[in-house]
Every structure is written in structure tokens, then in C-alpha cells.
Amino acid sequence: MSVAEMEESRIIQTEYSELMQKSYIDYAMSVIIARALPDVRDGLKPVQRRTLYDMYELGIRYDKPYRKSARIVGDTMGKYHPHGDSSIYDALVVMAQDFKKGLPLVDGHGNFGSIEGDGAAAMRYTEARLQKVTQEAFLGDLDKNVVDFGPNFDETEKEPLVLPVKVPNLLINGAEGIAVGMATSIPPHNLAEVIDGVIAYMKNPDITTEEMMDYIKGPDFPTGGIVANKDELLSIYETGMGKIKLRGKVEVEHGKGGKDRLVITEIPYTMIGANIGKFLNDIYSLVETKKTADIVDITNQSSKEGIRIVLDLKKGANIENLENLLYKKTKLEDTFGVNMLAVADGRPETMGLLSIIRHHVNFQYEIATRKYKTLLAKDLDKKEIQEGLIEACNVIDLIIEILRGSSSLKQAKACLISGEVSDIKFKSEASKKQAGNLRFTERQATAILEMRLYKLIGLEIEALMKDHEETLRNIATYEDILSHRSSMAKVIIKELTGFKKEYARERRTLIDNLKEAVVVEKPMEVKDVVFLMDRFGYAKTMELSLYERNKEAADSENRYVFVCKNTDKIAIFTNIGQMHLLKVQDLPVCKLRDKGIPIDNKSNYDSKLEDVICVAALEQLNGNKLFFGTKTGMVKLVDGTEFDVAKRTTAATKLADNDEVLNVSVLLGQETVVMRSKKDMFLRIEAGTIPEKKKGAIGVRGIRLGVDDSLTDIYVLPEGEAREVEVKGKTVALNRLHIANRDTKGVKK
């Protein structure tokens, strides 16, 4: 076979779509199983598990000095987790933050970030070590063969496939993760309640979710707050999915002169980080937009002691209504989406509360079985050796005679194991006969030969006897635990009770059913304001009296200036035939020199894709006709009431391909329309001769254009208004053009 034929025989033909599908599924499962989702047994993602195990391997115990985070991250990345240092350090930081974890697993030393969103210092500055609970409840039995180990990424190290966690960490600390096509979001719970729930399940595996909630009341967030939909928790815990409504805790402090203050002392868990700053900005916006006039000042007095956001109120403020306003308009009331998704038996599964506890309990029985099998095997070995040493002490003179009469260690060992005496010199035949009856095991013979002489002291022999008795008791205990599930359950429950006693804390989150926040908004005082927008698209409103004092400057500096109501909407017509609506009250009330805000920020208008053709108050359109003119010469009139819609954006007119709107004008009287083409053809018609159409119509032909000609400008002239334009160096007075019929060619200028 030639080389070419051999190469051709190695080519595997496959359908490209099948290959892509298989590759993507492999990638997705890798992300799901090996990165994004926690294991239901230990409640840890791979990066968390590897980081904790690496700290355990490095000996960074809770009672040992802190070690640099960079050392931990580097060692974890080099040995177990080759995915970049930032992901490892981020996991380490989160496990040390008591405002994110109900049970922090890492003891951080240095700047590990704040609840307000400040990031942790670089890993070269911070230090860390294991928490005591992590060492005892997460890593305590790793030396007892309780979990399987597998090769690391380059098969140079062994790592645990799961940690032997003795508390239901998935519920206690919760989890968040985004995989491919799925995400997990499990709220944290109170350690004491969860342990009580696990014990209740172990005593009664047929317990219902409703009965379980007598022990596990609901989520317990590190930030406190209030769960406001208690009645929906049962459904969430049964299905593993749902929405928890969270509220911050607000207290009222009474000040002098009837001036009270609202103090936010606890925040929803979802507000952690940058959302605190957003919350403050939302309160500022409520004040600026005059949604409330009760807030005089806002100060953030939060510190290491806890959250304290103070709102100073004016005298006689409606506190209840203001609280409801904060719940309704800010993140002080938020939703925590629950999706209790975790890896169970090697596959992702959405589980209810009982299912998670069942997996945890089964895991506890599994690791307890492996632990006590290991301990039993060790104590059986110890028993064998102890019995050999005790027997040896009883015939120590004979053993010494054997050792003195042997010419090699091998000879002496053979005599102890099988009674081989042929080559050993004895003082008497009786000794030789007695030695021939010896039948020690291999381990016993080795232990006897290695025994030191001081072990023959009376007290040492007595201690050996006591150790043997203790070993026998241990063996009986271990065999009882392994033979009876009830005995094993008692051991597990005793251990759980010990963890509860040492690490339990009071519940922080209140569980209740609260009424929907209802805001009684005061009707806005209707008044005239002046809308101003410059050529760059920055808009604002101004008090009418202030505008009248600065009318000349305001008119010269702005493209659109008109009076409207503060309760009105502004209609923005663009060249692509769209109309965007903007609430006047969303615009800031400014002074003359204030810049305002871009209309892009408050409407769906996009300055990169469209140009403003006309801006008018919606109230001005009602009762009037709107003129539309396009580049291809299509014109129409539309009743203004058609644009009084609820949608923020609507199609103002229909356009043909490669057409665009050149002019939109509100007609108020006897206007005339002048159309100018790029070949300098002019046609002036009366606006009243243009037929009225619906906004969804293209319109009718306003001017008959020549080949390759199109309109460049359309002018709407009010009656009696004079306007001039320049054409090839000469001036053309538009108001003096002859009024012709629609759909004619016009005149050349």
C-alpha cells in the first residue's frame, strides 16, 4: 500500500453538523459538570473544591499562620485548576466574604472587598487560611478513604472528586452559576435550621416538604432583610424553582421638631455590590423628578458594623407612603430567582428541598460507611499486633533464647511464624519443643522483632493491655455501626449536633407575608414649561418666567423651542419614518446654561441610526393636521390624533425602498409647501390640496421628478411668511413662487 493510500485510509468521513453537535455538547457538559454547577453532595464547584483541598495540602490550617493568597492561587492553578488565576482568586475571595456566604469557608486577612462592591486587593497583598469549620466539617476525614480520588489534569497529582462535607453546604451557603443553557441560583439558609431539618429527615424519611418547613423556615441571607412572600415558599421548595420577594429593613427614627428620618439597616441580598450605589441614585432621581418631596437629605453611614442609609425627612412627611415608594421604585424590594440546580449522580438536576437533603443524607451514610470500614480495618490490624505482643510478653524468655540462638533475622522470624527450629541453638530440649509450637502471624512476628526492651517494663505491659481492651471496644463499636443503620444514624446525628452547637447563629432574615406596596402619588400640578433642544440632541425644560427673561439667548442657542404642559409628551419624528415619545417630566428642569440630557437616554431614539426631522408637543398635534414629505416627492396629511398612542415608538409613516422623510410639520393655517429638487426644480403648492391619509400610507406624489432627480428640501411656509434661499449664487424668494397644481414638474431656477 502506497503512502497516499495509507493517508486516504486514515481519513474519517462524517457529517459536519453531527460533528459540530457532538463537539458543542461535549463543551456544554464540560462547562456544566466541571466548572459552573456545584455538586449536590458537598455543595462546591470544582474551583472551590480544588482551592480548599490545596489549602489543606499546603497545611494552611485555622490554627496556623496565614499564607499569601498568591501562593494558594498559584499552587491550585499549577496542580489542579488550569483555568487562569482570576477565577481561582475570585472563588477564594467569595468564600471569605461573610456578606455573601452564610458560612464563610476561608479566613481572609487583608482587604477582601466590601458589601458596597469594592473589589478585593490584589492576591499579592491578601492572605488566607482555612476556617475551623472548613477543616473539621469539609476536610476532616480525607485521610480515612471516605471519598474517591482521581488524577488531576496532567495526571501528576491526585485530587478528591468530592469533599467529605458533613453539613449540607449546598443549602447553607447556596450557589450561583451560569452554565451553557442552564443556570443555578440557590439561596443560603440558616445552619442550625438546616441541620435540624437533616436530623428530622433521618428520623423520618417520609417527612413532607410542608413538615420540613417547620424546621427550615426559609432562606436566611447574610444581609438579613425580609422575605415578603412566605406563602410561596412551599411551592418553591417542592419544585426547586420560583421567585422570592425580598425587602430591606427600614426603621423610623424620630427627631426634634417633628422631623423624622428613615434608616435602612438591612438590604436585600440582591443589592450587594454596585446596586447599593444604584439604589442611592434611584432615590436621588425620585427627588429630582419630584416623585417625592418628603426627602430632605440622603447620607450613607454604612461601616464595618453594618448597613445604615439615612433619609432625612421634612416635617410632617407621609412615612408609610414614602416606604412604599422606595419598595416600588427602587431595589429596596427585589426578586431573587430560585433555580435549585446541581450535579447529582453525574448529571445536572433541578431538585426540591427534600431531594437535596436526601442526596446529602445518602452521602453521609456513604462516607460514614467508608470511614468506619477504614477504622475497623486499622483496629483489626492493631488488635492482631497487640495480641501478638501480649503473647510474646508471656513467653519473653523463650523469644530471647530464640533470638540468641538464631544466626539471622530470617531464621528467628521463621521460628516465630511456623515453629522452624532446625538451625537454632536452644539451651534445652524443652525450649526447642516449646519454640516448635509457636504460630505468630507475619505482622505479629515483625512487631515482636521490632519491639524495644523498655516495653517489658511492668507499666508498659499494663498500658498495652489497656490499649488492647480499648481496641476491642472500638472494633465492637465499628462493627455495630456498620451492621446497624440506626447506630450509624446516631453517630451522624451526634456529629451534626456538635457542629450546630459550635457554629450556629441566630436567623438574620425575617420570613413573613407582606402586602403589596401601594404608592398614592399626589397629582402633579399642571403648568406650562418651555421645552428646549439644541442641535446636538440635548433636551431640557425651563420655567416659563425664566425663559421669558432669557428669550433671545434661548431661541438662538436651541433648534427647537416651544411651550408645553409638564404632563405632556414630546413627539420626535425621524427621517426613517419613526415617531418616538418622550415624557416631559422625564426631562430635567434646568437653567439657561445647563446642558440638559441627550434624548437618546430618555427615549428609543438612536442618534447613530436616525436624524430628527420634527419635534412637537403631543397636545399640539391633537386637532391639527401633520404634513409629511419625502425625498422621492411623496406627500400626505395625517390627522394628529393618530399619534396619540401609548407605545414609546411607532411608525409615523410608510416609506418606499430608499426613501426617507425630509419634512414633518404641524399645519396651523393656510400654509403652502415648496419642494426643491437637487436639479433645482421648484414647485409651490397649497397644503390644503394634499389629500389626508392614514399614518400607515405612503401618500401621493407631490412633484413629478425627472430621471435621477430627487428632493433635497421641502419648506412649509405659513401664510404671509417671507423666506429666501440661494440657488447658484442668486436668491430665490420662496413666497413669490407661483402656486401650481400638485403632481406637476415645477419650474427651473
The residues near 325 (Cβ < 8 Å, ≥ 6 apart) are: 286, 291, 292, 517, 519
Nearest to 690 by CA among 712, 705, 675, 710: 675
Burial 486-502 (b: 16+ CB within 10 A, else e): eebbebbbebbeebbee
**Cα 49 to the center of its chain, rounded Å:** 19
Nearest to 616 by CA among 632, 631, 602, 627: 627
The residues near 463 (Cβ < 8 Å, ≥ 6 apart) are: none
Q: Are 314 and 296 in contact (CB under 8 A)?
A: yes
Q: Are 340 and 351 in contact (CB under 8 A)?
A: yes
Spell out the SS3 assignment of 136-147: HHCCCCHHHCCC
Nearest to 172 by CA among 148, 196, 208: 196
Cell of 681: 426644480
DSSP 643: G
Residue written as grid cell 477565577: 87
Burial 456-473 (b: 16+ CB within 10 A, else e): eeeeeeeeeeeebeebee
Q: Are 407 and 423 in contact (CB under 8 A)?
A: yes
CA dihedral sign of residues 470, 471, 477, 478: positive
Biggest distance spanned by C-alpha atoms of the chain:
151
> Which SS3 state, helix, strand or coil, does residue 741 take?
coil
Spell out the SS3 assignment of 650-700: EECCCCCCCCCEEEEEEECCCCEEEEEECCCEEEEEEHHHCCECCCCCCCE
Please say if 125 is a catalytic residue. yes
State which H helix or E strand residue 373 sits in. helix 353-394
CA gyration radius, the chain? 42
Distance CA 63, CA 50 (A): 21
Residue written as grid cell 415624557: 583
Residue written as grid cell 427627588: 287
The residues near 537 (Cβ < 8 Å, ≥ 6 apart) are: 598, 599, 600, 605, 607, 612
Regarding beta strands 226-227 and 510-511, do their DSSP bridges make them parallel or antiparallel, or are they unpaired?
Answer: parallel
DSSP 653: S
Distance CA 713, CA 718 (A): 16
Across 566-667, where does the E strand assignment appear? Answer: 569-574, 578-583, 597-598, 612-617, 625-630, 634-639, 649-651, 661-667
Distance CA 368, CA 361 (A): 10
Q: Are 556 and 590 in contact (CB under 8 A)?
A: no
Regarding beta strands 260-266 and 295-300, do their DSSP bridges make them parallel or antiparallel, or are they unpaired?
Answer: unpaired
Catalytic residue among 125, 215, 269, 327: 125
For residue 580, the cross-strand partners are 572, 649
Written as one string, the DSSP assignment of 265-320 is EE--GGG-THHHHHHHHHHHHHHHTTS-S-EEEEEE--BTTB--EEEEE-TT--HH
* Catalytic annotation, residues: 125
